[in-house]
């Protein structure tokens, strides 16, 4: 079957010029979006999912705003149950959010991403971890530890998150913040700050300009 589709594509190359590649790609994107949108708790107008999901779990616990762009090979996981342990996850993406390719958003608690948030590629946003930092859990294999959340993740409006950044559980990121590439955010960030590093530290804030 794969060889048949490949051969059909080869024949099309004699009928259509290379510029039609972008037309086919765009059509594919909207067909893919149309297929998946009904599975979500809500899905706003003009939002697009770029093929294809690397992983999609619990879409009924995921709300997508309007004019949202979800890049290729993104993982969206809202875990209602892992093993025999139940959870109550919720993921909310506000309007005009753009999630970069190969990013991962994973929840057993609650993740809220505000309006106008932009992420680079390979960003991780998680409200959970494999167990707690105590002797009982550390004596177990990571996969045997019960998932644990320190709290929800709240990312307020107009935040820009650089490539390969990690946002950990229990964190609130203030309005208008810039998170540097490769940063690991482990604690709350006030409004209008630039942070970088692992762990992320404030390197500039809007008050510094006054």
Q: Are 174 and 157 in contact (CB under 8 A)?
A: no
Residue 175's nearest CA partner among 122, 112, 127 is 112
User: Is residue 28 annotated as a catalytic residue, yes or no?
Assistant: no
41, 59 Cβ separation under 8 angstroms: yes
Annotated catalytic residue within 63, 130, 145, 201:
130
Contact 164, 181 (CB under 8 A): yes
Would you say 115 and 97 are in contact if contact means Cβ atoms under 8 Å apart? yes
Contact 169, 184 (CB under 8 A): no
Q: Which residues are catalytic?
A: 130
């Amino acid at each position: 079957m794969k060889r048949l589709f490949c051969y059909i594509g080869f024949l099309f190359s004699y009928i259509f010029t290379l510029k039609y590649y972008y037309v086919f790609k765009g059509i594919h994107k909207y067909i893919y979006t149309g297929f998946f949108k009904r599975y979500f708790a809500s899905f706003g107008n003009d939002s697009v999912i770029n093929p294809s999901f690397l992983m999609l779990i619990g879409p009924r616990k995921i709300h997508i705003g309007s004019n949202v762009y979800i890049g290729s090979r993104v993982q969206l996981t809202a875990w209602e149950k892992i093993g025999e342990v139940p959870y109550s996850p919720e993921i909310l993406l506000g309007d005009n959010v753009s999630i970069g390719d190969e990013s991962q958003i994973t929840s057993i608690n609650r993740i809220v991403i505000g309006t106008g948030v932009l992420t680079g590629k390979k960003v991780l946003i998680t409200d959970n971890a494999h167990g707690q930092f105590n002797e009982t859990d550390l004596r177990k294999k990571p996969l045997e530890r019960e998932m644990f959340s320190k709290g929800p993740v709240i990312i307020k409006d107009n935040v820009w998150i650089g490539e390969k950044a990690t946002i950990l559980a229990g964190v609130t990121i203030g309005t208008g913040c810039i998170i540097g590439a490769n940063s690991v955010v482990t604690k709350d960030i006030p409004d209008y700050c630039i942070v970088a590093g692992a762990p992320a530290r404030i390197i500039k804030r809007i008050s510094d300009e006054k």
